[in-house]
Structure 1
């Protein structure tokens, strides 16, 4: 296995199918301001959709895998409270060395990882020790402060999944550390299989608690199938395509692209335009109107919040606890930027079509 250096983005966490968390340890993490989008050109009665293309982020080393990041970016910071979407693999672990992320901190967020293949060993300062596997949700609440490590296991040959973060609202951003595991039963609907890991969809409801209304589901659509879905019109939605070519609301999406669907739609239709199964992740939530500062693995509300969290991590304070059972050193925090980190926000919401 390869340990990714601290000047690179590294995957960390069980979470994101299972929950495999990715640690954002880019050399120069930046605050990104959103830019207003152009006019919609689709039919007046169609949901408003923007396509967010990914950017490649290397995870370290000349042979290491990379992730495809679609959130955040200048065009959009959040979808509901979802604030971070990385998509990675299929990664040949024999070639890259797999995932090996030392203990690192989080504040003000929950990590959600969803695996399609592979296995990751998760340890955290709450005392949790879990194995992240495909089709199983592991959700870690950082709140006031938590630390954890993620290491792909010897049983892993191909690592493939998505890393997701959720911003906690002001009233809960200092919540107590928590770790929860849930295995959703697959739900069959005509032409598709759905696994709801957060919220509700297709008649299934996840029991996992969230701090804002959220939706998270894996949807695998059969070749050439057309899938109508009833959704919450108060939500904004994001559809990430893992495999296949999918049309949503008359907008064509290819693998690794993320469609942002503006609030107001009470139904979405997914069309698999390919001759192979198309796998997607549907995210949703009510618009998150709070301003956040997001740097490295921390979410706060001000530059001072971030400075304080970084200083306390570097000082090995009790705020983040200790990850027992990990053989090795903690991950060091990058240097703070030489400018004040300011809050970022989404573009102004467009008025609904009449």
Structure 2
């Protein structure tokens, strides 16, 4: 997916909920999503919680778009032309529908509900994403992971993983990155990460042991999910600081609730993030944009897409500065 929001609005956080700073009752910050169109006259709208003015990263997770359920007959679904990425990995996860992914590695792959596609951009890659004719309802998340300095020029790569669902205390859990609830994903990442879908039965409560070195985000898709003293509504993201050894999720709804659980060790490097590029300086971004517009070999070509490439937007009339998380307290 391409980030059309090159200059994101400064949107304030949602409610700030203070609990005791302990493993039992962690402090939870609630981040409300903002709507962003993907472009075109019948644009598909996504709900974006990362990056946000109050939080750039959760671990190395630097981007979170949540979309659907969208009736493809009304919205035309997803049709993102070939576009570039640098310095990051993309993670695609669907709740319903089907998307065809094609990239400059020569990969052509389908992603379906409960399956994960992870693409490593590294020094440079290009890809396109199109929902298939078989898709009636499109619904899922698109996530990005920033790469650490020593790996940000990594070679292009693509991985596909179908996690087996696990059951615990009225919750169904699919771990697509990292380890949780006795399951470990085989997918390679460059920093310690957690990514999982958690579906809670009506009024269910589940306590999940987690790494105390991780910070966590709970992105709610459906239902109302309580984390400590915060009740997260659909499209809200709750942020939990490092230091807790257990996260308790409670479904406050009479129907099933679904959430994406993200985690990772705090990412201490400053990053510059603009359009679809992650770098460390303004010059990194300028160079990547120039090379994309010049159709250089850095990104390669995407075969089979019935149309042109996505042009890069104009650079802002200012130096692009690093994005930072607030100081840890």
Matched, 1:291 2:306: no
Q: Quick one: distance in 2 between partners of 1:317 and 1:62?
A: 30
1:280 aligned onto 2:263: no
Q: Name the CA shift for 1:263/1:37 in 2 (closer, same or farther; >3 Å).
A: farther
Partner of 2:20: 43
Tell me the distance in 2 between the aligned counterparts of 1:267 and 1:206.
Answer: 20
Question: Which residue, out of 33, 38, 41, partners 1:54?
Answer: 33
Q: Which residue of 2 aligns with 1:18?
A: none
Please tell me whether the aligned partners of residues 220 and 236 of structure 2 are also in contact (alpha carbons under 8 angstroms): yes
- 1:170-249 alignment to 2 at 5 Å? 170-249=149-228
Does residue 1:30 correspond to 2:7, yes or no?
Answer: yes
Alignment size in residue pairs: 327
CA–CA distance in 1 between the matches of 2:74 and 2:14? 40
Give how far 1:41 is off.
Answer: 3.0
Deviates more, 1:283-292 or 1:54-63: 54-63
- Contact kept, 8 Å, 1:35 with 1:76, in 2: the verdict is no
Give yes or no for contact 1:117–1:159 (8 Å, CA) kept in 2: yes
- Cα separation, 1, equivalents of 2:39 and 2:121: 25
- Cα distance, 1:301 vs. partner? 0.2
Is 1:158 the counterpart of 2:137? The answer is yes
The CA deviation at 1:98 is: 1.1
- Pair 1:100-2:57 in alignment: no
Note the residue ranges of structure 1 that are not aligned, 5 or more in a row. 1-21
Contact (CA 8 Å) 1:298, 1:309: kept in 2 or not?
yes
Aligned to 2:288: 309
Provide structure 2 residue ranges, at least 5 long, that are not aligned to the other structure. Answer: none
CA distance in 1: counterparts of 2:272 and 2:80, whole angstroms: 24
Q: Please give the secondary structure, in 2, of the residue aligned with 1:210.
A: coil
CA 345–152 in structure 1, closer or farther in 2 if over 3 Å, else same: same
2:257 maps to 1:263 = no
TM-score scaled to structure 2, two decimals? 0.96
CA contact (8 A) 2:16 2:28 kept: no
Contact 1:31 1:295 in 2 (8 A): no
Runs ≥4 residues deviating over 4 A: 31-40
Q: Residue deviations 1:38-64, cap 9 Å, x none?
A: 986323542111000001112234543
Q: How does 1:130-149 map to 2 (within 5 A)?
A: 130-149=109-128
Hey, what's the Cα distance between the residues in 1 that align with 2:283 and 2:186? Answer: 35
Name which of structure 1's ranges 30-39 and 254-263 shifts more when overlaid on structure 2: 30-39
Counterpart-to-counterpart distance in 1, 2:65 and 2:13: 23
Seen in structure 2, the aligned counterparts of structure 1 residues 338 and 218 have a Cα distance that, compared at 3 Å, is same
